[in-house]
């Protein structure tokens, strides 16, 4: 039976039931639970330090009205990092390689930022569609371009996350397959290929964290424009 390299991105099923919901739910079990003790253990202290540092860095440029989003965006950041990192383990499935799921995250959150801007400061929100000092003949063209760029934002969010994770998983599988094929024929080249695979895996760990951070960072920038 010949398997395609893209079979790893198929949603797993059991008795015809998609298991993507299970893949999205189980990572929450790995998070340490908060306790009522005065002194926490090292894991909880590290988790609190990470959350506080991330929230402070993201929401420092945003005024107080946007701080209501702190819990939502911080939870989304931790959730995406956990899913991306678990997807690098063997025989696991990465839900964030599915464009439909990433768009389900991107579109509602982007739309919420736009609605907040239109409700709170409609003049300022609409002013983004037309830069100041634009010549009169270019006004219709620039309004069309800015409107298209506005509606492309959620698509760019979803496609960026999907493309980066998919490309990384494909590269890991290609290099691992090459190392296995070369091992009985050219062991030296296979060892060098394995070393390359190790470095690529470390790079993908960094990419998994960075892409989750970029996803939330861009959402915070969209929020900053509209709050």
Residues 124-153 pLDDT 10s: 778 778 777 778 887 888 888 888 988 999
The dihedral sign for the CA sequence 47, 53, 56, 58: negative
Q: What's the pLDDT tens digit per position in 56-82?
A: 888 888 888 788 888 899 989 999 999
Separation between Cα atoms, residue 111 and residue 103, nearest integer Å: 12
What is the per-residue pLDDT for 1? Answer: 37
At 154, the pLDDT band (50, 70, 90 cuts) reads: very high
What is the per-residue pLDDT for 58? Answer: 87
- Asked if residue 107 has pLDDT above 90, the reply is yes
13 DSSP β-pair partners: 18
What is the per-residue pLDDT for 80? Answer: 92
Residues with Cβ within 8 Å of residue 80, at least 6 apart in sequence? 96, 161, 211, 212, 215, 216
Coil, strand or helix at 18: strand
Kindly state the average pLDDT of the residues 182-209.
91
Lowest mean pLDDT among 9-23, 45-59, 72-86, 196-210: 9-23
What is the per-residue pLDDT for 146? Answer: 86
17 DSSP β-pair partners: 14
Kindly state the average pLDDT of the residues 110-133.
84
What is the per-residue pLDDT for 2? Answer: 47
Q: What percent of the chain has pLDDT over 70?
A: 96
Separation between Cα atoms, residue 21 and residue 107, nearest integer Å: 19
At 103, the pLDDT band (50, 70, 90 cuts) reads: very high
Kindly state the average pLDDT of the residues 169-190.
89
Lowest mean pLDDT among 11-15, 191-195, 214-218: 11-15
| Count of beta carbons in the 10 Å neighbourhood of residue 94 | 22
18 DSSP β-pair partners: 13
What is the per-residue pLDDT for 205? Answer: 93
């Amino acid at each position: 039976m010949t398997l395609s390299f893209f079979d790893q991105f198929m949603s797993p099923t059991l008795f015809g039931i998609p298991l993507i919901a299970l893949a999205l739910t189980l990572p929450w079990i790995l998070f340490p639970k908060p306790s009522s003790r005065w002194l926490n253990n090292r894991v909880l202290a590290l988790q609190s330090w990470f959350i506080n540092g991330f929230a402070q860095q993201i929401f420092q440029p945003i005024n107080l009205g946007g701080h209501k989003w702190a819990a939502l965006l911080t939870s989304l950041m931790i959730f995406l990092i956990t899913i991306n990192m678990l997807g690098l383990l063997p025989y696991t499935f990465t839900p964030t390689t599915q464009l439909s799921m990433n768009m389900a995250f991107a579109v509602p959150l982007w739309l919420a930022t736009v609605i907040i801007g239109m409700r709170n400061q409609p003049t300022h929100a609409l002013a983004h569609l037309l830069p100041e000092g634009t010549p009169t003949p270019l006004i219709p063209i620039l309004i069309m371009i800015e409107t298209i760029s506005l509606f492309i934002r959620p698509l760019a969010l979803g496609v960026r996350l999907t493309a980066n994770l998919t490309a990384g998983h494909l590269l890991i599988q290609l290099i691992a397959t090459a190392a296995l094929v070369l091992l009985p024929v050219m062991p030296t080249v296979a060892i060098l290929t394995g070393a390359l695979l190790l470095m690529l895996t470390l790079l993908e760990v960094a990419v998994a964290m960075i892409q989750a951070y970029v996803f939330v960072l861009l959402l915070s920038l969209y929020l900053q424009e509209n709050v």
